[in-house]
Amino acid sequence: MSLNLKQPSSSLRKTVRISVITVVHVFLFAASGYSAFLLRFDFNIPWWQWEHLIYALTIWTITKTIVFQSFPVNRVTWRFVSLPDAIMLLAANLTGSLASAIAIRLIAPAGFPRSIYIIDLALCLLFTSGIRLAVRMLAEASSAHGRSDGRRALIYGAGDAGVMLLREVRANPKIGYKICGFVDDDPAKTGRLIHGVKVFGTGDSLTKIAPKHQIQHVLIAMPSATGPQMVKILNRCAAAQLSFQTVPALSEGVNNCSIAPIRDVAVADLLGRTQVSLDDANVRAKFENQVVLVTGAAGSIGSELCRQIARFRPKLLVGFDVSETGLFYLDREMQSSFPNVAFKPEIGSILSTRRLREVFESRGFATVFHAAAYKHVPLMETHVFEAFENNVVGTYNVATMAERFGVKDFVLISSDKAVRPTSIMGLTKHVAELMVSSLQNGSTKFVSVRFGNVLGSNGSVVAIFKEQIAAGGPVTVTHPEMRRYFMTIPEAAQLVLQASTMGRGGEVFVLDMGQPMKIVDLARNMILLSGRRIEDIRIDFTGTRPGEKLYEELSTLEEETLATYHEKIRIFSGDRTRIPNPEAWMDAAHRQSQRRDMRLILVLKTLVTDYNPSSEVLQRLMDQPQLAPQLKPQAGRELIA
């Protein structure tokens, strides 16, 4: 028989603490009552009032002790007492004084001075709140004095987040900072004292404030700052040669008057995107106790989809991918982060219908998220057939398997590059969208979700820039006017889940990506994040690559999307080509691909008439003389026929 020594020790400490607080309260109740009599009678209590005093002290101490025990005031840590605790303390005092007054009227001799009730209430409230305030002030003063050797830091932002951050730094010695002051972009706050700490000035004067007060570090406490505001702050920190960190949005970290951990500023902070608000009830109803499949599960979007779906407790979550290593690490992560969710990794290719059938026939999937795809634009320009096989044939295989085995919902992860495509990657994603929509004729609901680039995905420009900056540069950007839409991986995955609960089938959902960002601005911002000045790292422009656009589009025109009940999700309402016989079309196109026949491009262009091939693809077509007369849209229809 083993003994648990830790729990009794914790219980004993709790009992001792509450007992000490109770004794202190009894003393304060008696002191406030006796002081009330002294004040009422000008510090000379008449002998005929002593009987009233004895009755009152007895009733006050017993009644108020019982009332305070019924309120949670004894369980609040005094060094962290706050306004809600003061309100609760006021309620306890009012209740205790009222109950005591009733008891005194019923038990004590007649003639009890009524003014003493009010005096006692005021004194008791003053004593019980004053001792808590004194303990908190002593604790804060002690902690601040104990970290005089920490790094000298400023808090940028003298609002609620800044005040909470000051308290957190003072209360937690492990953070290791000595807060010397605030800066805030509101000039009206300059000169104010916040918990004894001065607001030195605005951010514009940071270069003067830092050397004057020997500042080493800036803690940015502006969780609601926009992307441009954060960039301006980082520029000011760089000009003052100060390192910096930030705190996340308050909604992510506040818990019992504590702020989220201080962390380095991330690229996502510079986007200034607001936190996604999900309709949790609908999403939970869709995934809780259901069996869900994610293809491409080892990729950036696929793995995040797995994490987000796991939050809603599915009965079984299956991750399908051809990457053994990626699935191995995802499996370990899911077991560690979601031990109560059944996760099953399945290795296989979406080009193998036999393997897909094995996975589908034994599971009974309710929802399939198809995230497996080739995505790198320049690479796909030189691998036309591989892009078609994986992005179109693979999508067709998974979609038809979902239909065959009665899957309720099929969601295709698409791309902004599918809009007026100029690349093979965009062309194949557009055709995949058309294929999925054309299969909508049965019980399975087929939808596509289209969005732009996600920060930090595998092989993304962010990872490349990080490597180049770490090496001292240069940072390579294709064109000074190159722009892209960006969002974070978690935001994209959450909105995909939300979109999966919408629609009746056949729709293409478009995620709100905000405003596009210049790639060169992203490069400059990442240089700032590295703690260097922009002029420290050279930026070279290398020219656009085959298949790349300067501007990506989520829909051809703003009016071609309709609003949904979610502010960040719209439905594409433009003309949608339907494939009358998807199976026959796929067989014909697949034969072209297997023969490595570049006339496949003409076949695809019959569906996506606004496809504008790159010079590299056109050159490959022109290298086949027999195709020259056929470089017209109708040629593809003739080939299928």
Of the candidates 226, 219, 203, the residue with the CA atom closest to the CA atom of residue 265: 219
What is the per-residue DSSP string for 450-469? E--EEET-TT-HHHHHHHHH
Q: Pairing state of beta strands 151-156 and 177-183?
A: parallel
- In whole angstroms, give the CA distance from residue 104 to residue 114: 11
Instruction: Please report where in the chains the tokens 């905000």 appear, as a residue.
Output: 514
Sign of the C-alpha dihedral computed for residues 310, 430, 512 and 263 taken in this order: positive
- In whole angstroms, give the CA distance from residue 101 to residue 109: 13
Three-class DSSP labels, 601-613: HHHHHHHCCCCCC
Structure tokens at 74: 């004894």
- In whole angstroms, give the CA distance from residue 226 to residue 222: 9
Looking at residue 151, the DSSP 8-state letter turns out to be E
Helix (H) or strand (E) segment spanning residue 229: helix 227-239
Q: ∠ CA 232-238-242 to the nearest 5 degrees?
A: 120
Amino acid at 177: Y
For the question of residue 445 being annotated catalytic, the response is no
Q: ∠ CA 427-432-438 to the nearest 5 degrees?
A: 125
Of the candidates 548, 587, 134, the residue with the CA atom closest to the CA atom of residue 396: 587
Helix (H, G, I), strand (E, B) or coil at 344: strand
- In whole angstroms, give the CA distance from residue 437 to residue 432: 9
- In whole angstroms, give the CA distance from residue 52 to residue 100: 13
Catalytic option among 375, 417, 429, 568:
417
Instruction: Please report where in the chains the tokens 């910096």 appear, as a residue.
Output: 244
Of the candidates 247, 241, 216, 220, the residue with the CA atom closest to the CA atom of residue 231: 220
Of the candidates 68, 83, 71, the residue with the CA atom closest to the CA atom of residue 28: 68
Beta bridge partners of 592: none
Rounded to 5 degrees, φ, ψ at 265 are -70, 130
Q: Are 194 and 166 in contact (CB under 8 A)?
A: yes
Q: Are 485 and 516 in contact (CB under 8 A)?
A: yes
Of the candidates 94, 91, 116, 92, the residue with the CA atom closest to the CA atom of residue 105: 116
Instruction: Please report where in the chains the tokens 């002290």 appear, as a residue.
Output: 57
Question: Catalytic amino acids?
Answer: 417
